[in-house]
Structure 1
Amino acid sequence: MGPRDRVARYTGLVGALLLAVAGYLGGALPDATTDRVWNTDAGPLTVTLWLLGTAAMVGAWWTLREGAPSTRWAYLTAGWWTLPLLVTAPLGSRDVYSYACQGWIYADGGDPYATGVAAAGCPWVEAVAPVWRDTPAPYGPFFVLLAALAVLVGGGLLGTVALLRVLALAGVLAAAACLPGLARAAGVPPRRATWLLLACPLVGVHLVAGAHNDALMLGLLLPALLILARRGPDQSDVNGAGQRVVTAGGLLVAGMLLGLAVSVKATAVVVLPFAALAAVRGRPVVRALLRDGGLLAVGAFGGLLVPALLTGLGLGWLGGLGRSGDTVQWTSPPTAVGMLVDYVGELFGRHPDAVPLTRIAGLLLLTALLPLLWYRTLSTLHPPPESRPAGLIMRSWRWASAYPGDNLMINPAGVVLGGAGVALAATVVLAPVFHPWYATWPLAVLAVAATRTGWFVLPCALASFLALPDGTNLARLTKAPGAIAMTILVLAIVIWSLSRRRPQRSPPPP
């Protein structure tokens, strides 16, 4: 461990301690208003400590973005940073109280998908953010069941929140255990992958201290991907039916984990088509897809169906997904474009109400983009014969492991994981709403697959500054400037992408 590593370790630890103190002074406590930072004498001190702590953690994380000295060092350092955040108040949002009330509704015999927490009479409704008091639960039945168990075992709000935080910590630990194996399978240094995810301030602040159920989703998603990434070449002809049973069992378990991840948060469904490519042995012809992908689908269907039947809630949670966009913030690019159109319209006395239209456009673009990403992943794994000599597809795909010589080799696990990570990133960018902890979805997968990290590490670093300890989102305070800046950024990225696609003129022959 060099001097730079030592400075980064202790700078991040100091930052975590400052954030923990800021949490005690102005965190999202249940008996405080949502604007606690602004309504107390300690508000300026809280904001100062929060910004200093966030800057320290982000700076230390950024310094070692190319990799910690070792995987063990990364685990130990991230653990030290997490400890202060594990014992402070909920940070960055009040969603954990929504989880508690939704679990209380189900434990009390109600249906959290049919009514909001206020109408159901949750005794802790005052702790829930006002915007979510009248909305049904948008989370799957598996998570609602776990939240109800936390309510029954916890006995009160404090015990329930503590158990929900333990559940989130378990998800982070499960994901952490899979990082070295996934990184090795994808050809990425485990010390870098481990550092990028576990030391990211978004994980400690929002997944652990904030107890977001995104941690549980990742804790189910990454083990499923690890099972699929470790599948070797088909040896069923050598080992007979026993090998086929093991293979089938692994696919069913991986599928079950993926289904449970979707039953926590619907976002995980984006990964399923890419997981199917990882499940297929040999070329993904129709028979191979039906054989291996079918087993994975059976497991995923079971992971969805069993909690739905066990809880008796069915698929009612799908109706609550539409209410997740009730907040209008410029941090979502489609929403920012619509906000700017509305502001320009108001200058001319018009009220175009463009946000719903731009959000629909973003979802349509995502619907078209995801199949293209899947097809590109498939083409990289199995390019047409005429494209093999040039290898253009594989060279353009950053997760392909190229080796010297005429024969260009690829790493199948890296290609599939990279495709899944880009699909999650596209989902985050084009969704109607963005919250800082959403960035951990693609981060968890890209950390173990991407060879270039700056393009997703920088947005995660910036997202760490978006929320205050009491749950106030700074995007609410900077609506017009933020919408303008985000729209300019979107236009710049579009222009840059089009310029790169423009064919280059070939030089004249000598």
Structure 2
Amino acid sequence: MAFPVDLRRCQALGLAGTAFLALGGETAGALPTHDFLAPGSVRAVLGLVGVYFGVVLLIAAWVLLGGVVRGPEPPTVRSLLLVLAVWAAPLLLAPPLFSRDVYSYLAQGAMVDAHIDVYAYGPARLGGPLADEVAPVWQQTATPYGPVFLVVASVLSALTRGQIPAGLLGMRLVALLGVALMAAALPRLARHSGADPAAALWLGALNPLVLLHLVAGAHNDAIMLGLLGVGLVAARGRWPVLGVVLITLAALVKAPAALGLLAVVALRSRGRGRRALLRSTAVTTAVAVATTVVATAVAGTGYGWIAALKTPVSPHNWSPTSLLGRGTGALLRHLGSGLAPFALPAWHAAGLVATAALLLFIWLRLRPGPVYALGLSLAAVAVFGPAVRPWYALWGLFLIAAAAPSGSVRARVAAASAVLALTVLPSGAPADGEQVILAVCGGALALVVLWQAHQAARPQRLGRERTA
């Protein structure tokens, strides 16, 4: 984009983007059922167009800000944190966007508060208005989340007394806390890894995926990544035991964060020989086990979360292994084979094997820095796991942003982020042709506005060049 760009213009453009997101979400977001509008209604159409108009403005602001960060006078970390706060502000009171998972979180918290085993029953067991908001595919599904997150959800349920608006605001505040922890950890991890703190903050915290899915979507991945980030900061500093505790707590929100314990072992033993490696492994394991036992006892939810990790994924999930499994199953059914039902489980198992092989390669053969190795490992888990959502990309992206050794890696990750930001409808529902067309129209309208701004700036720029 060739019109004049500075930090203030990027901040204003991104604010316009998230403001349109919030306004459009009022009629096209993941609304409570009593506020739901028919997809073809005028307000819903305008809302969907407005959301994607805002998404494209936000992506453009982020890309332009990346140029400022790479420029001759990059902004300070404090300036970028202010930009993040400004961009996130309109989303604070917006309805949930791009997913209905936050309703599941609230229902699970209410179940814990009501002493219903969330590892044995789905939200349908709770019943009532809150359970009715949960997507049908998850009504009978046990939760895969750990006891730390369930304690948070249960406390929110008790504080809000089942009131949905208050619960939604509470979950968003929890997500914002997670994003704040991420933003605090990124510059420190970047300095330790020899990377540019401003560039790390731009890619890992100001990323549109963070704003769209962790803030607007209020996903619990935010608190997982926030605890993981500050745990790594503590582990590489003077508080390794505290680091292990925080990373274990992150894993007791969502299990993938447990890979962070490998990074702790590597950070504390790198270059110190086998004895240091064994000692670090033993201490890390002991502290992690103790933290798990204490946290689970305090939560009172038991160890059902271990078995619940096998919770089935959505049948329409678009992870590579699920796509291959469905395709193989369809082919086998067409051929009349009785092996068709085994195709999907077989591909999921192959994905687990591929993930394990990649982890061994990363840690034993590739041997990058511990933080970067962890980012690559979490990316592998997200890609080859049985379920993929756009916000899962943030698992690895967050740490790759902090420790990527080259600008080319960051450029590819940034390009993937921009594409993923456009892949989900604001209602969180599966897309149909009409909604896709409306979304494209909203994005195209934003591109027209940006082009007009570029054209309007050309005479001014040419005039300055002639004067010079």
The residue that corresponds to 2:418 in the other structure is 461
CA distance in 1, matches of 2:426, 2:63: 22
> How far did residue 301 of structure 1 move?
1.9
What SS does the aligned partner of 2:211 have?
A: helix
Unpaired segments ≥5 residues, structure 2? 436-468
CA distance in 2, matches of 1:175, 1:297: 24
What SS does the aligned partner of 1:325 have?
A: coil
The residue that corresponds to 1:53 in the other structure is 54
Select which of 23, 26, 29 maps to 1:27.
29
Q: Is the deviation greater in 94-103 or in 44-53?
A: 44-53
> How far did residue 359 of structure 1 move?
1.6
In the TM superposition, what are the counterparts of 1:64-143 in structure 2 within 5 Å? 64-65=65-66, 68=69, 69-70=74-75, 71-143=77-149
Deviations 1:188-223, CA, capped at 9 Å, x for gaps: 111111111221111112111211110010110001
Aligned residues of 1:111 and 1:313 also touching (Cα < 8 A):
yes
| 2:188 equivalent to 1:181 | yes
Change over 3 Å in CA distance of 1:52–1:263 after alignment to 2: same
CA distance in 2, matches of 1:50, 1:345: 41
Unpaired segments ≥5 residues, structure 1? 231-246, 381-396, 398-414, 479-510
Aligned residues of 1:105 and 1:122 also touching (Cα < 8 A):
no
Change over 3 Å in CA distance of 1:316–1:24 after alignment to 2: same
Q: Is the deviation greater in 358-367 or in 425-434?
A: 358-367
Select which of 260, 265, 276 maps to 2:254.
265
| 2:319 equivalent to 1:365 | no
| 2:1 equivalent to 1:17 | no
What SS does the aligned partner of 1:457 have?
A: helix
Aligned residues of 1:274 and 1:374 also touching (Cα < 8 A):
no
The residue that corresponds to 2:392 in the other structure is 438
Task: Normalising by structure 2, report the TM-score.
Answer: 0.84
Aligned residues of 1:333 and 1:429 also touching (Cα < 8 A):
yes
Deviations 1:329-371, CA, capped at 9 Å, x for gaps: 22x1112222333454566566834332212211111122212
What SS does the aligned partner of 2:309 have?
A: helix
What SS does the aligned partner of 1:111 have?
A: coil
The residue that corresponds to 2:231 in the other structure is 224
Deviations 1:377-412, CA, capped at 9 Å, x for gaps: 5xx4xxxxxxxxxxxxxxxx5xxxxxxxxxxxxxxx
The residue that corresponds to 2:379 in the other structure is 425
CA distance in 1, matches of 2:45, 2:171: 30
Change over 3 Å in CA distance of 1:476–1:345 after alignment to 2: farther
In the TM superposition, what are the counterparts of 1:304-315 in structure 2 within 5 Å? 304-315=292-303
| 2:429 equivalent to 1:472 | yes
> How far did residue 123 of structure 1 move?
4.1
> How far did residue 312 of structure 1 move?
2.4
CA distance in 2, matches of 1:438, 1:477: 27
Letter of the 1:334 counterpart: T
CA distance in 2, matches of 1:290, 1:106: 39
CA distance in 1, matches of 2:234, 2:200: 18
CA distance in 2, matches of 1:476, 1:356: 30
The residue that corresponds to 2:201 in the other structure is 194
> More helix per residue: 1 or 2?
2
Deviations 1:131-156, CA, capped at 9 Å, x for gaps: 11111111001110110000111122
Aligned residues of 1:466 and 1:475 also touching (Cα < 8 A):
no
Change over 3 Å in CA distance of 1:359–1:328 after alignment to 2: farther
Letter of the 1:448 counterpart: A
Deviations 1:252-291, CA, capped at 9 Å, x for gaps: 1111001100100001112221221012264240x21232
| 2:31 equivalent to 1:43 | no
Deviations 1:143-170, CA, capped at 9 Å, x for gaps: 1011000011112222222111111111
After superposing on structure 2, the runs of 4+ consecutive aligned residues of structure 1 that deviate more than 6 Å are 475-478
CA distance in 1, matches of 2:321, 2:413: 19
Q: How many residues align?
A: 422
CA distance in 2, matches of 1:476, 1:229: 50
The residue that corresponds to 2:451 in the other structure is none
CA distance in 2, matches of 1:303, 1:94: 31
CA distance in 2, matches of 1:212, 1:357: 29
Q: Is the deviation greater in 106-115 or in 273-282?
A: 273-282
The residue that corresponds to 2:442 in the other structure is none
Change over 3 Å in CA distance of 1:37–1:363 after alignment to 2: farther
The residue that corresponds to 2:165 in the other structure is 158
Aligned residues of 2:21 and 2:54 also touching (Cα < 8 A):
yes
Alpha-carbon RMSD: 2.4
| 2:220 equivalent to 1:207 | no
The residue that corresponds to 2:455 in the other structure is none
Change over 3 Å in CA distance of 1:109–1:329 after alignment to 2: closer
What SS does the aligned partner of 2:32 have?
A: coil
Aligned residues of 1:228 and 1:275 also touching (Cα < 8 A):
yes
| 2:288 equivalent to 1:300 | yes
Change over 3 Å in CA distance of 1:221–1:66 after alignment to 2: farther
> How far did residue 476 of structure 1 move?
11
In the TM superposition, what are the counterparts of 1:216-295 in structure 2 within 5 Å? 216-230=223-237, 250-280=239-269, 282-285=271-274, 287-295=275-283
The residue that corresponds to 1:355 in the other structure is 344
Aligned residues of 2:179 and 2:222 also touching (Cα < 8 A):
yes
Change over 3 Å in CA distance of 1:111–1:6 after alignment to 2: same
Aligned residues of 1:216 and 1:261 also touching (Cα < 8 A):
yes
> How far did residue 18 of structure 1 move?
1.0
The residue that corresponds to 1:63 in the other structure is 64
Letter of the 2:324 counterpart: V
Aligned residues of 2:325 and 2:346 also touching (Cα < 8 A):
yes
What SS does the aligned partner of 2:257 have?
A: helix
Letter of the 1:431 counterpart: G
CA distance in 1, matches of 2:222, 2:432: 23
> How far did residue 86 of structure 1 move?
1.1
Deviations 1:225-266, CA, capped at 9 Å, x for gaps: 112233xxxxxxxxxxxxxxxx5xx12111100110010000
CA distance in 1, matches of 2:43, 2:292: 46
Aligned residues of 1:329 and 1:475 also touching (Cα < 8 A):
no
The residue that corresponds to 2:452 in the other structure is none
CA distance in 2, matches of 1:449, 1:81: 24
Change over 3 Å in CA distance of 1:121–1:284 after alignment to 2: farther
Letter of the 2:28 counterpart: G
CA distance in 2, matches of 1:144, 1:266: 13
